[in-house]
Amino acid sequence: MNRKILDYAKQLSSLNSFNARRFCKLKQDGQAFVPYQFLWVLCHLGFVQAFATTSKFNHANNKFPKGAFGNAQGGRSTSARRPKITWKKDISQGSYTKRSILPLIRTPAEDLMEQIRLKQWESALKVFDFMKGQDDYQEDVGIYIRLLEMLGHCKQPEAATHLFHKMASDGCKPSTEVYTALLSAYTRSNRLNLALSTFKQMKQQPHCFPNVYTYSLMIKACSDACEFDLVRTFLLEMRSAGIEPNIVTYNSLLDAYGKAGLLDKMENLLLSLIKDDVFKPNVWTQNMILKNYGKWGQVTKMEEWYERLTSLGVEADITTLNTLMNVYGKERMFEKMTAVMEYMKRYHYNLDTISYNIMIDAFGKAGMVQEMHKIFNLMKFEGVRPDSITFCSLINGYGIQGIISKIKKLLQQLKNHDVVPDVAVYNSALNAYRRAKNICEMEKLLLEMSEAGCFPDAVSFNIMIDACRSNGLHNRAEELLLQSQKQGVRRQLQQN
């Protein structure tokens, strides 16, 4: 059992970077004495970096070497004091509330559920493997379902397939829910052919008959791929099996028609469903209808359906109003966009980061940098935290107008707002400098990206190479092209 605990500690050593010496004051003659019972406690607290390496641990007397938790002289470390834990402390990439911070010591099953919640799929599978190695482990099909759903959200279809086969080899019989979770993992990764073959296999298994959720999942996947013949086939199968489509099924079909630009079919289907009283539209129906009309620039139709669905008792939520603002912003109908914002304030909707990002992006693309800056200041004043998308829109807005002096300031403000710059932020800055033909700043920014551990992608190299060529720096352009090829980045040529 002792060796198993250490193996578990090693498996979890990548979960966080907390140092055990911040919390451990156990010292005995300059050495830290840690019994295995306390080792398990440390493991679940997440302080595994200090003891996960077995070479540091003396198995003969259960002791760590001198300095494992303190300084080299065995004295008290300046960082040995336990920091004050607030109720919003970030532990292992998750915020613990006052209620959930109490049970810090978790069993393996609780640890597994926590990793699933955080969508740490690699760590979750390692914890699951550890659990299966315990003498008191009992097969639970519910755990497999939760893991398959998590792998679907993480878009890991290969890992989901491996887990499914492993479940069968362990003697755990699949069920309808297991197959539905597996199909979800395939469809979320756009593996339609694999999903179809698995669905066919599912129908041949005893006691694994598809239910309304399974069919809704397959209908959505086929609809997104514009395979409407398969959609009709599935609807006929549902009727012959006595399964009534639910609102999720119809919403998926309506959304597919809208995404494909078949707005007449979308509208006719919705009208027939409302007329026949088949289902009552909900807020998801409303948001999807408005989004698809706005996507294809049919603002009048969007407004008509907003009024009609509101009259049917569908109440708008923050996503509904953000959708309206986004459409008005793209169509440069700024008065209506501002009116929606005022409506949200009047009726006590809390504008979120997405709301402000929509307005900042709209004003920036229109070259209205003063209005853009006002919205950004209002966002900070209201205490809404900006994200990387906020800074991308700001940099793009100033770049379009050639106000390059603002770019450096914005990149510095990222740190003040605890926003980690991603490759999209750097690409926006590179593009702004390209517009100003400032190759020197572009080179500095490219170096800063590498130092920050944010490696250039195809878009980054595309911007750099085109800027060098347009300014006559052909040798430098060839160097960048070779560098992109060495890094395995396929250059995507811009279509001007």
Q: Residues near 288 by Cβ (< 8 Å), separated by ≥ 6?
A: 251, 254, 255, 258
Whole-model pTM over 0.75:
no
The total of other beta-carbon atoms located within 10 Å of residue 92's CB is 18
Are 225 and 189 a contacting pair, CB within 8 Å?
Answer: no
Give first-to-last CA distance, the chain, whole Å. Answer: 65
**Could you give phi then psi for residue 77, rounded to 5 degrees?**
-75, 145
Q: Residues near 442 by Cβ (< 8 Å), separated by ≥ 6?
A: 430, 433, 434, 463, 464, 467
Strand partners, 58: 63
Residue 168 confidence (pLDDT): 86
Residue 293 confidence (pLDDT): 95
- Residue corresponding to tokens 């109440």: 315
Residue 490 confidence (pLDDT): 54
Domain architecture of the chain: domains with CATH: 1-90 (no CATH), 106-244 (1.25.40.10), 246-309 (no CATH)
212: nearest Cα among 237, 250, 246: 246
- Helix then strand then coil, in percent of the chain rounded to 5, is 60, 0, 35
Summarised one tens digit per residue, pLDDT across range 385-442 is 999 999 999 999 999 998 888 988 898 888 788 888 889 999 999 999 998 888 988 8
3-state secondary structure of 58: strand
Residue 30 confidence (pLDDT): 37
- Running along the chain, 496 residues long, what does each successive block of 10 average in pLDDT? 48 40 34 40 43 40 41 39 39 41 61 88 90 82 91 92 90 90 93 93 90 92 88 90 89 90 92 85 94 94 95 93 96 95 92 95 94 94 92 93 89 84 90 90 87 84 88 87 75 42
32: nearest Cα among 2, 3, 75: 75
Q: Residues near 204 by Cβ (< 8 Å), separated by ≥ 6?
A: none
Alpha helices by DSSP H, 29-133: 36-45, 108-117, 121-132
